Amino acid sequence: LNKSIINFGSGKSITVQKMAQLIQTCCVDLWGNTPTIKIPENAEYRNFEELEFKMSFLNQINYKFTDNFETELKDLLQFCKINF
């Protein structure tokens, strides 16, 4: 790959709050505990435009995504618990 940096992603955007909720759900499934999501009282909520990520390079090299976001997230959480 000629020392290039490649960013992998699902091609879809997600808010930080939605990601926190997904992590929370995965923790319940994996370990039976519910991490607290703390949102500052002065937090501003804004509408956001969805971002579209184009990963045409990955298509060119025939890379196939598993498209199972929850499984990938659980695997990452288990890795972090073991290694950190």
- Structure-token pair, residue 7: 């960013």
Per-residue pLDDT, averaged over 58-84, amounts to 86
How many Cβ atoms sit within 10 Å of the Cβ of residue 11?
Answer: 13
Block residue for tokens 């290694």:
83
Q: What is the pLDDT of residue 56?
A: 75
**Which pLDDT value is given to residue 80?**
95
What pLDDT shows up at residue 45?
78
The confidence score (pLDDT) of residue 2 equals 61
Q: How far is CA 71 from the centre of its chain?
A: 11
List, for residues 11-58, the tens digit of each pLDDT value. 677 888 889 999 999 999 999 999 999 998 998 877 777 777 677 777
Classify the C-alpha dihedral 50-45-8-20 as positive or negative: negative
pTM over 0.85: no
